[in-house]
Amino acid sequence: MSVRFGEGVCVDKRVRFLGECFVGEHSVILGEVEIGGGVWIGRNVTILGPVKIGSRCFVGDSVVIGFPCKRNLLDVLKDLRCEVDVDKKLVEIGDNVVLRSGCVVYEDVKIGSDVEFGHYVLVREGTEIGDGSKIGTNTVIDGFSRVGRRVSVQSNVYIPLNTVIEDHVFLGPNVVLTNDKYLMRTDYELKGPVIRRGASVGANSTILPGVEVGVEAMVGAGSVVTRDVPPKTIVVGVPAKKIGEVPKNWHIPMI
């Protein structure tokens, strides 16, 4: 087994490499970390265990994996020995995953295999992303959310706390999902939208808290969706209204 290190790399004695890997200049890997074979880690990367990374992954420059959530952040900052022994939860990353430069993945995140991130993606704690999904540049997934298999999220999408996105969903550029119905003016249990299997949401659309977009439904670009969308229905406008049914010869895109 051969692991190549660039200049100025800091690797904790608890880190295990399971095959040939490369770690770029000035990267830091601390805590209980397991890295599969064929992994390429760029420059100035920070990995804070516990973390498991599968085989043949690409981790771009300045990526952070295992960033502590709020309850653990102060404990990490106080640990001047850089021994990350606070009660952090595991990050699991599957095989053939691409994390391009600038991405930040918090603790307690599970990313399936064959997932591809653009640049500067933020994924908060408690989130799960299924196999084969693509998450576009500058997207924010704000925690305790589930993104299914083979989901296509384009650039600059906002996915709030407590959102469910099922398999084969498409979210166009600049889509905004919301979870606070009363804008902090009264007590409200934050509840993100539910986007059902095979639904598509067009660019610049906004989906209000708790709204369900049904199986294989379509939301036109620039729409504001204020109420549930039935399965296989097309809605457009502000507020979004039904204009028809999805044609029977249209199929879920198996991206």
pLDDT digits (tens, 9 = 90+) for 16-61: 999 999 999 999 999 999 999 999 999 999 999 999 999 999 999 9
Average pLDDT over residues 64-82: 73
Beta bridge partners of 195: 165, 213
Same domain, 70 and 191: no
- Residues 237, 223 contacting (CB under 8 angstroms): yes
Same domain, 107 and 63: yes
Residue bearing the bigger pLDDT, 224 or 87 = 224
Is 131 domain-assigned? no
Three-class secondary structure of residue 199 per DSSP = coil
Same domain, 13 and 93: yes
How confident is the model at residue 177, as a pLDDT? 98
Same domain, 114 and 166: no
pLDDT digits (tens, 9 = 90+) for 138-159: 999 999 999 999 999 999 999 9
Beta bridge partners of 16: 34
Same domain, 3 and 120: yes
Same domain, 88 and 163: no
Report whether pLDDT(84) > 80. no
How confident is the model at residue 179, as a pLDDT? 92
Mean per-residue pLDDT of the chain: 92
Q: b/e map of 31-53 (b: 16 or more CB within 10 Å)?
A: bbbbbbbbbebbbbbbbbbbbbb
Residue bearing the bigger pLDDT, 119 or 188 = 119
CATH number for the domain spanning 107: value is 2.160.10.10
Return the ∠ at Cα 243 (arms to 241 and 248), rounded to 5°: 130
Six-digit token string for 223: 């729409």
How confident is the model at residue 180, as a pLDDT? 85
Is 136 domain-assigned? no
| Residue range of the domain that includes 95 | 1-126
Same domain, 118 and 210: no
Is 244 domain-assigned? yes
pLDDT digits (tens, 9 = 90+) for 97-142: 999 999 999 999 999 999 999 999 999 999 999 999 999 999 999 9
pTM: 0.92
Q: How many domains, the chain?
A: 2
Same domain, 95 and 165: no
How confident is the model at residue 155, as a pLDDT? 98
Is 19 domain-assigned? yes
Same domain, 91 and 29: yes
Is the bond leading into 50 cis (omega within 30 degrees of zero)?
Answer: yes
Is 234 domain-assigned? yes
Same domain, 116 and 186: no
Average pLDDT over residues 177-206: 87
Percent of the chain at pLDDT > 70 equals: 91
How confident is the model at residue 79, as a pLDDT? 58
Same domain, 110 and 19: yes
- Residues 217, 196 contacting (CB under 8 angstroms): yes
Of 126, 148, 180, the one marking the end of a domain is 126
